[in-house]
Amino acid sequence: MKIAILSRNKKLYSTRRLIEAAEANGHQVEVLDVLRCYMSITSHRPSIHYKGQELSGFDAVIPRIGASVTFYGTAVLRQFEMMEVSPLNESVAISRSRDKLRSLQLLARKGIGLPVTGFAHSPDDVQDMMAMIGGAPAVIKLLEGTQGIGVVLAETHKAAESVIEAFMGLKANILIQEFIKEAGGSDIRCLVVGGKVVAAMKRQGKEGEFRSNLHRGGTAEVIRLTPEERSTAVRAAKIMGLNVCGVDLLRSNHGPVVMEVNSSPGLEGIEKSTGKDVAGMIIKFIETNTNPSSTRTRGKG
C-alpha cells in the first residue's frame, strides 16, 4: 500500500515509528507537512498538491495533526477523504475530539463516567458555579490548554474564586471540575486501536504535583487495567468515532472517569513503558481496514 503520514516533522518519535512499521510491512510511506498541502475544491475531481506536484495513488492516510493546526489539518484530511483515501481517523472525529466541551457532552450523553464538570465563559455567579461541582477543592482548566498548562488545582473556595476571576479576565472558556484526590496525582493512558485497548500505562506526577503529564516531569509504568477501565476506554473511543486514540482515565472512588480522548496519541511513552509495538499494530489495523485495489484509482475519475 501507499500510505501518507500527515506530520509536520519526520523526526518526531511517533512519526519515525510509523514510518518504520509501515516499511517493515512492505508499504511505501510519504510524510507530508499538512500546512504545505494545497487543494482544489472542485466537485468532480478533488485534488491535493504538494510542493508543486499533484498527490496520487495513496491508499491510506495517517493524520498526526497537532492541536495548533486542527482547522487546516482537518480540512486537508477531509480532502483526502473526498479522494477516497482511507483515513486512520476521520476528520469529523478529530474535530470532535479537539473540542473538549463537545467531547465531554458526547461522552456524558452516553453514560461514560466523568469527573463532575462545570463549563463557563463568564459566570456571573461563581458561588453557584462552585456549588454545582461540589465546592473546593476544584480543578480549573483553560479550555485551550495542552500538556497540563492552564490546569490549576484550587484547594480552597477562595483560591478557586480568584482563579476563576483571573481566567474570566482573560475572556477564556473554562472548565471547572471536581478534584479526584484519590487518583493520587496519577492517571491512566489507554491506547485504543480498532476497538481494543492494546497498551496501557499509568502516569504519575512528580512529588507534590497533581498533574501526571510526562511533559511536566511525570513518570510512566505499565499497568493492568480492570475490565471496567478497559470497557470504558473502548466505549469512549467508539463514541468519539476514533479508530486510534489515547483515552485518559482517572481512578476515582466512583469508578473510572474519563478526562480526555486524544486523537493523535504520542507513541513514545506508551511504547517505552509497555514494550509494545503500537506503531506496528496501527499499520496492521490499516492493512485489515483498507482495500488497496478499490482505492488505488480513486479520486482520478
Q: What residue has cell string 486524544?
A: 262
Nearest residue (CB) to ligand ADP, 141 versus 276: 141
**111 CB-near residues (< 8 Å, 6+ apart):** none
- The answer to whether residue 146 forms part of the interface with ligand ADP (CB under 6 A) is yes
- The answer to whether residue 177 forms part of the interface with ligand ADP (CB under 6 A) is yes
Nearest residue (CB) to ligand ADP, 147 versus 297: 147
- The answer to whether residue 179 forms part of the interface with ligand ADP (CB under 6 A) is yes
Q: Which of 28, 122, 147, 294 binds ligand ADP (CB under 6 A)?
A: 147
Q: Pattern 80-119, binding to ligand ADP, x per CB under 6 A?
A: -----------------------------------x----
Q: Which of 212, 273, 274, 290 binds ligand ADP (CB under 6 A)?
A: 212
CB 189 within 8 A of CB 261: no
In the window 216-275, what residues touch ligand ADP (CB under 6 A)?
Answer: 248, 250, 259-260
Nearest residue (CB) to ligand ADP, 82 versus 129: 129
- Give one DSSP letter per residue of 150-178, joined into a string: TEEEE-SHHHHHHHHHHHHHTT--EEEEE
Nearest residue (CB) to ligand ADP, 27 versus 189: 189
- The answer to whether residue 210 forms part of the interface with ligand ADP (CB under 6 A) is yes
- Least Å distance, CB 155 to ligand ADP, is 12
- Least Å distance, CB 109 to ligand ADP, is 20
Per the omega criterion (within 30 degrees of 0), is the bond before 137 cis?
A: yes
Q: Which of 145, 194, 241, 266 binds ligand ADP (CB under 6 A)?
A: 145
Nearest residue (CB) to ligand ADP, 58 versus 179: 179
Q: Which of 25, 56, 173, 213 binds ligand ADP (CB under 6 A)?
A: 213
The residues binding ligand ADP (CB under 6 A) are 115, 139, 141, 145-148, 151, 177-180, 183, 187, 210-213, 248, 250, 259-260
